[in-house]
Structure formats: structure tokens, C-alpha cells
Amino acid sequence: MKQNLNLLKNIRTVEPYVPGEQPQTKVIKLNTNENPYPPAPGVERALQEIDADRLRLYPDPVAKILVKALAQDHGVREDQIFVGVGSDDVLSMCFLTFFNSKKPILFPDITYSFYKVWAELYRIPYECPKLQDDFHMTKEDYYKENGGIIFPNPNAPTAIYEELDFVEDIIKHNPDVVVIVDEAYIDFAGKSAETLIEKYDNLIVVQTFSKSRSMAGMRIGYAISNPVLIQYLNDVKYSFNSYTMNQASLVCGVEAVKDRAYFEKITARIVETREWAKVELKNLGFEITDSKANFIFAMHPEYDAGELFEAMKENHIYVRHWNSERIAQYLRITIGTKEEMKVLFSFLNGYLKR
């Protein structure tokens, strides 16, 4: 059919985000930063107990039980929590709600690639200050006039964590715009910016159940902030879709939050495997950033990352590689179980010795 260019002009076109592959065959899957351990045992029990008849009804639009559990867990009030379908949903709502200026929003040139997609989708102008050669942010880059700020801490895919006083400086220098700290990986890192919420009225902290809670498939994310900003988020949410959280995510989410001991156990195990994997990769000649996430960002000075990526894939080991400037020689490797990592190292040992 012949393309009608006038028709095209009236369509909101966008270059979409490209998620990592979800192969449907059994592979060593180290490509999308999922948790290699199952969710807390209570989650499985809750799933089995779901009454199918309850699904006739719409879920609670305010997601009361989940919001309450999260508020208790974080020591904040219920009107300081906003929940969504994964942190992607929460972040997208934040872009729509808080980034409404003609001035550009700021986020690093190397970061979660969804930020650019939302900015384009919602027609938000943006600028991307360059990370330093060691992939750390330069805080002064975020002191200029802007329409809002977002960055992940730890950053992805670099895995680098900026200390809390660094994050606080950025928040403090931007009192007139909203600063969003995307803490998808914070539980594997250091102090969360949530401790600054009482002090700064422009701060939103976003976290997820997808990584440290082992529930990427359930899709739960949330924002913590002051009641004023949370109310604005809710106003936009109710203008979009009232019933974001399905019944299963509500009950399973609560069970996951309740089991702090299990959460701490598996998070510590992943951190331990990560530290061991860093040493192994260095011994194999890789150069890596000081990862504080559940993945490692690695490059080998003698081997092309694209070729290595393909070779791993042929051997059923999936990691992530981007053909983009500055990071084309890097691989992002999710921390799996120790057994999975051993398979990776044994493959690399053979491949690099050829």
C-alpha cells in the first residue's frame, strides 16, 4: 500500500525501547538482571491460595494492602507510597507528571535506555551530560538550569554507585525541579536516597520488586516521596488507568515485603557471588567497573565484545551487549547462581585460551 505522508504526520511515532531477549529454551540467562533465586516462600503460598472467583471483581484501585506493607517496611506514611506495574510503569508516570517544562531534563549519556524513549514519547526536551571515562557522574553537570533530573543509582549498565552525599548535592542544587533517583539496584549497593525524603520536597525515589525481590514476572514497582508529589502522581495515574495493580500482585507483593529475612539472605548471596565473580573475571583478563549492582559491566582488552557475545550465545549463555558508542566493547553480565557463573567461567576459560 502507498504510504500517505499526511496521515503519518498525525501519528505519534516513537523509536521503542528494546528489552533484553527472553529465550523460551533453557539457557544460562544472565542478560536481563533477574534474580536467580525464587521469590520468598510466602509468595508461592499466596499464589496457590488466590480465589479465582475474586478475579470477577476489579482489584482495589488504591492497592491498599501493598501500599500499607511498603509504608511499614520503609517507615513512611501510606500517602508517601505510589505503586505501579513494575518500576517502568512508575517511572513512565513520573516522566508524564513531573517533567513538564520547556527546559531540558537531564540524565547521563550512558544510562537506562528507557529514559530517552519516555522523553521522546512525551515530547520532553532532554540533555545527556557525559559520564567521565571511568563512568562516574560529574555532579556539577547537574547544577545548570533544567526541567528535572533522573538517574539510576547504581547506574545501569555501568553498575556504578554514587555515594549518598553526592546524590544529596544534586538534589540540593535543584530545589525548583523534581529529582528522580531510580534505585532498581539499591539493595545490592549502599545507602538509599529514601533517607533524604523528609529533608527535600523535590525528591522521588523509585524501587522495584524485579531484582532483589525476585519478582520481575509479577511486575511491581513503587515510588517513595512526600504526600504532595505522590498525590500529583496519583492524579495522573487515575487519568490513565485506575486499576494498574492486579489482584495477584497485591497479595504476592505483600508476602514478599513481609519476609525480610529471606530478602536479606538472597541479596547477601548475590553480593557474595558478585564479589567472587569480579575476581574470576579479573583473573581472565577482563577490566570491570566496581559493580554495586546484581550485574557486572566488563570488557576484555584483547577480545571484541560483539564477537564474545555471539560466541556465548551459541553456547547458550546469554548476556547483554549494546552496539552503541562508548560501551560497544562492554558486556553486561547478570549475577546468576554460583553454578551458572561457573558454567560462564568455564566457557570463557576455553574461549580465551584458543
Q: Which residues bind ligand PMP (CB under 6 A)?
A: 86-88, 112, 152, 156, 182, 184, 208, 210, 216, 221
**What sign has the CA pseudo-torsion 157, 159, 289, 354?**
negative
Q: What is the C-alpha separation between 290 and 278, in angstroms, rounded? A: 8
Residue nearest ligand PMP by beta-carbon distance = 86
What are the cell numbers at 2?
Answer: 502507498
Which residue number, 152 or 253, has a Cβ lying nearer to ligand PMP?
Answer: 152
180 vs 348, beta carbon nearer ligand PMP:
180
Q: How far is the CB of 178 from ligand PMP (least distance, A)?
A: 17
Question: Are the C-beta atoms of residues 205 and 187 closer than 8 Å to each other?
Answer: no
Note whether 326 and 110 are within 8 A (CB). yes
Contact 159, 297 (CB under 8 A): yes
User: Which amino acid appears at position 213 of this protein?
Assistant: R
Q: Decide whether 20 or 352 has the Cβ nearer to ligand PMP.
A: 20
Q: How far is the CB of 214 from ligand PMP (least distance, A)?
A: 11
Residue 135 CB, nearest distance to ligand PMP (Å)? 14
Q: Do 114 and 154 meet the contact criterion of CB atoms below 8 Å apart?
A: no
Q: Are 98 and 232 in contact (CB under 8 A)?
A: yes
Cα dihedral sign, 93-230-185-45: negative
**Residue 183 Cβ vs ligand PMP, minimum distance, rounded to whole Å:** 8
> Measured from the CB of residue 233, what is the shortest distance to ligand PMP in angstroms?
16
Residue closer to ligand PMP, measured from CB, 116 or 342: 116
Nearest residue (CB) to ligand PMP, 32 versus 315: 32
Query: For residue 131, what is the DSSP state?
Result: P
Q: How far is the CB of 293 from ligand PMP (least distance, A)?
A: 9
Is residue 108 within 8 A of residue 132, CB to CB? The reply is: no
Pick the closer one to ligand PMP by CB: 113 or 315. 113
Which residue lies nearer to ligand PMP by CB, 86 or 129? 86
Q: Taking the complex as a whole, how short is the minimal distance between the CB of residue 288 and ligand PMP, in angstroms?
A: 18
Of the candidates 13, 19, 206, the one whose C-alpha atom is nearest the C-alpha of residue 120 is: 13
